[in-house]
Structure 1
């Protein structure tokens, strides 16, 4: 068992899980001030993850785990036949799933900046657009969150499928280790956490 995921990737993943649950709970119970605060934290995490995806540990970089269609379909064939061998980063299907997750989260964050309940709460940038645009973006915000929850459900099912195929993706994201012959090169991730904290502090100051 060798280390394949650095502390930032693992911490970011589980903080995101908790934060999305918090966003759902605060919205359902109308705790909108906390909803905004959690969203600020998610935004900081996501921006730090984008930077880590460019200059972080090699196996955490976007260019490393996003593969073309041929690799995508080849991976599905290997998984179906039982010939799948885990690698040092996300598999080709998982890489595209990560991009989809990021897209949904950024849509959620972006529309939330302009969303409003037309009574008690409006996003920090809602005043910059018309009431009609606010209403449209609010509808997208609500719809997109349902899409995000559906995708999360599919993600959980996929984890179970890989577990049945002998790959413990959940365990790897907890302890960071995977059974491989050679460990990937991992960078110290302290600066990524510092950047996330700085971004969250700045956003909290202006919007929190």
Structure 2
């Protein structure tokens, strides 16, 4: 019962307040880059605040997540880690599905911030656009964050990585840092109830650029699922 009340209260407070950050980010993208970046990071911090003080969720990072021009491959179990990236990093460039950029106000701000849309049905032109954006952002010293599973998975599941990950790794020619996440324990996919506890980011060993596809996929897959038990 307590968890249900907390979840309902969190949903009302978090999603109600999110509109402020989306609208502020939109106008910031038109008027002032500093305001836009503040709003994007502010939304992530707002989620963290609401999760901690309403749901009773803490976040622990095992290892170091720093802004470096590398590819971060992160386990995807809930909405939490998607929104949390601008809080964890200073200026991350997150590869996200194209549909998210259609959200009113937020979509334009996300592009201006440096988020990278991926359109799985867009063909070669969409892939070239994604690569061009990724290379430009890496050249600016920013990390590129990708969720190689392609969609949220239940905690404990370990599906194969999407084929696009290996292609991006090869063409960007940068090291990749795998990160395990266990947020699905507290925010399970396809279930509305949220539980208290600790979400852990476990940072794996950096994997150098230029490895064969089978090797890099195996190493990233193992490290990303290190918290499955």
TM-score, length basis structure 1: 0.29
Higher helix share goes to which structure? 1
Considering Cα pairs closer than 8 Å and 6+ residues apart, tell me whether 1 or 2 has the greater RCO: 1
Higher strand share goes to which structure? 2
Larger radius of gyration: 1
TM-score, length basis structure 2: 0.27
